[in-house]
Structure 1
């Protein structure tokens, strides 16, 4: 039986004999050398502008060397970029089967075995090298020694060894002696970071941070020069009016060397004075410090989308949570991008090589499970079930991550002697309190059947009673709206959506005003009680 011809996502046939070879290993004399240049040395605004233009025009080598140097020499940029890459590389990775058939489950289990490799996290960091540089190319070295195609190694390749097609600016090509060559099908994981729309070479964060890197280096250089002489006294040499050039030279040499030699000799009649550096206050130092901190904050915003988690300053917990949410959005976007790349360039080739082409393929998913507020879920269920909402026990067990009971012996029950909850879901204590209040409002005792007038009563002060009476009409209106929406809901999801929508729309001004007045009155009553308290 002839081996079927496999095509990649671009419709190109694969070459199986190439899959087990390293086609982009470094060389000593060829175009793929490990030695690199250092364009960051003596970098100026004019040189940086030329480097960025070269990258746009199809010569990205100096730009990629600069991006590498930035990760090595700028501690802040290396920190935030490394945080962004490692945060995604450490996310949970799972495989979702194409369907429930035994064959689809077998394919998913095959891919899950690959994900158990210890090297996977480091390999994901290599793939995410595109975050800074705009793109990354990782070579897949396949192994067929046991009769099945297995990705034995994922080898990071220096992005300087690749260029882009001149026509579209998006198709990566491998540099060879002569003309660059297309990447072999099923052989490469090509990840393009989408920090912004446009050409891949312009989508990396290094391009965004390059200007701050340059300007901060200017500031730090001047700062170090300032620190070198800050606070040191000025050595002032004075010579007499008839001094010769030789005597002046001797005096100058003494002034220059006295800082390091501590001692010097000068002709008689000459004077060396030490003038203290007065007026060089902390404001001069703060100028460099503030600019360097500002530049770091701009880099944090560009890489992480915020800077509150990297700059510890005064602020509220709520503000920190908002900034963390922005960072979460970026994490999710990065995770979806790398998931799409791995599904296209690694997962699908592995399935095609071992199981043949499929109608639908298992998917690799990188990312956190969506967190759910279980307290709110439980409170909502307690409220909705007595109103007729149908909620499954198995669904609640899955939401809480609990296995379902196998039999009655395995069933979790309330502790013996605990409060019994009626079938309608009403809390007994709450029911007793409400009954007592209703009896008191009607003029009765509201107590126990035995006749004790004080038993079980809920005593409300006049202010609370008035507030509850004033709030009853708007609350009843909200309850009616809630009943109508829940009655129209056909599922738990629709009911939950109706609750959220009503919560956003419910803004009865009468209720707001009543609550405001009640709070003010309660505070006044408290102040009066404190003032009238006897010492």
Structure 2
């Protein structure tokens, strides 16, 4: 096999018969922009819509509220050093006043909205280390694609653009392809709903003005001249703003309300357009299409999950670009001696379902409840879950002497007999002895749980600890107590039978 054939590209633009040779750059093939005769700058106008910007902010905040970390590319000292440099770079970018890291990540996320977005990396060399000083956004209007590479339009190269230097431009593209290297812009799919919506607003306002206000009809007696009619018309127009007017003598003014208009047509149009915009931007429409009479919690959770998946996809897009920056930092400072680290978004997971079992094991000898703050901090429960009291409920403790949670049928206001008092004292002595045994076990359990770094580690260590817990003495105490109580019960039953004589029902 000829290895040159493996290296040769056969399906790029140079072999495409549809590609017009001589073009300095490919035009953006977006169907909406091309047919409407618009440029990508129309996206700024679409973003001015209140519903669009609300959904964009929802999507952006969904990604930026997630935490991230820098994960070393290996375990070698050079790999660790590379991760430290990238962590240092991001920490400094977070503190930049004009171009904070949060804003840069949000700009990269905009690639999904506008098809592509780019950042210029402005470097600084300090203490023998190359690190980015800040990341500045590059407007899309200055980027063109030749079919092979991105180029930047400048004063000296306004048409063909200059080649992007190495280590200078981070470009993010959304669903880019050979035919459309500019990427698929979601705001382009919002253009027609945006246009129809605002046309609906215009007609809705006109409808409100036309049918919401009464018609003012005036009659002039006799043969009124044109100047008189114009004077009266001007007075009536002024009445739309001011409730007073001076009309010629003999004029009759009537007010008539118009009926038959249906304002719901335009309201439905606007609501439908908002729904289409929501589908494009966040993958759900509950906030715009469902009212109190429809929808359900299950549907809301399903749509919320779809939105989370879209946010996760945005995070992957941003992560790929940040990994490119990490590779540059590693290469400029360590060459090929180190593996570049990775920009990793931390997964948002619900707390383990079985963690309550660990808490119950640790507190089974404790009455009441586990301190909420201790449980939340120990098991890493997020703020959004901290209203769930069931996760920290201790095992129910039956009050001494019965009560609402215990069997109260044997309780009486009568004083104990000597035998009953002896049984009560036996129970109290047994409980005191058991409390001492359980307290020792409790100390061991709490020590294991408090020293554990995770739920899984706590479970493993508790299982290892179980054989060392004091169970034999507790079992012996329980056996002796139950035996004594059983013997006393039998003795009492025989005494009652003897007192009852020969009565079989006694």
TM category (shorter chain) comes to 0.5 to 0.7
- State how far apart, in whole Å, the 2-side matches of 1:252 and 1:65 are: 44
- Among 89, 93, 97, the residue aligned to 2:64: 89
* Equivalent residues of 1:132, 1:205 under 8 A apart: yes
1:327 aligned residue: 307
- Among 292, 296, 314, the residue aligned to 2:270: 292
1:333-356 superposed Cα distances (whole Å, 9 cap, x missing partner): 111121112112x01000000100
| Change in CA separation of 1:84 and 1:288 when aligned onto 2, cut-off 3 Å | same
2:125 aligned residue: 144
Aligned Cα RMSD in Å?
4.1
| Change in CA separation of 1:407 and 1:299 when aligned onto 2, cut-off 3 Å | closer
Superposed, which structure 2 residues align to 1:94-493 within 5 Å? Answer: 94-117=69-92, 118=94, 119-165=100-146, 167-168=147-148, 171-176=149-154, 177-178=156-157, 179-194=160-175, 199-240=180-221, 242-280=223-261, 284-308=262-286, 313-314=291-292, 315-344=295-324, 346-358=325-337, 360-369=339-348, 373-375=352-354, 400=455
Where 2:128 maps in the other structure, the secondary structure is coil
- Greater alpha carbon shift after TM alignment, 142-151 vs 190-199: 190-199
- State how far apart, in whole Å, the 2-side matches of 1:413 and 1:114 are: 50
- State how far apart, in whole Å, the 1-side matches of 2:278 and 2:76 are: 47
* Equivalent residues of 1:133, 1:205 under 8 A apart: yes
| Change in CA separation of 1:239 and 1:54 when aligned onto 2, cut-off 3 Å | closer
* Equivalent residues of 2:145, 2:181 under 8 A apart: no
Q: Which has the larger radius of gyration?
A: 2
Q: CA deviation at 1:406?
A: 10
Q: Which gives a bigger RCO, structure 1 or 2 (Cα 8 Å, sep 6+)?
A: 2
| Change in CA separation of 1:407 and 1:116 when aligned onto 2, cut-off 3 Å | farther
Q: CA deviation at 1:202?
A: 4.8
2:52 aligned residue: 77
TM-score (norm 2): 0.60
* Equivalent residues of 2:175, 2:183 under 8 A apart: no
Q: CA deviation at 1:174?
A: 0.3
Q: CA deviation at 1:228?
A: 2.9
- State how far apart, in whole Å, the 2-side matches of 1:307 and 1:376 are: 36
| Change in CA separation of 1:419 and 1:305 when aligned onto 2, cut-off 3 Å | farther
Q: CA deviation at 1:413?
A: 10
Unaligned runs of 5+ in 2: 1-29, 95-99, 362-447, 479-484, 491-506
1:65 aligned residue: 41
1:33 aligned residue: none
* Equivalent residues of 1:374, 1:400 under 8 A apart: no
Where 1:330 maps in the other structure, the secondary structure is helix
- State how far apart, in whole Å, the 2-side matches of 1:317 and 1:222 are: 36
Q: CA deviation at 1:262?
A: 3.3
- State how far apart, in whole Å, the 2-side matches of 1:223 and 1:49 are: 29
Where 2:123 maps in the other structure, the secondary structure is strand
1:297-317 superposed Cα distances (whole Å, 9 cap, x missing partner): 111111111122566634322
Equivalent pairs counted in the alignment come to: 352
- State how far apart, in whole Å, the 2-side matches of 1:84 and 1:95 are: 23
- State how far apart, in whole Å, the 2-side matches of 1:96 and 1:340 are: 14
Q: CA deviation at 1:99?
A: 2.1
- State how far apart, in whole Å, the 2-side matches of 1:63 and 1:209 are: 14
- Greater alpha carbon shift after TM alignment, 270-279 vs 174-183: 270-279
| Change in CA separation of 1:337 and 1:49 when aligned onto 2, cut-off 3 Å | closer
Unaligned runs of 5+ in 1: 1-47, 56-61, 383-392, 422-427, 429-447, 454-535
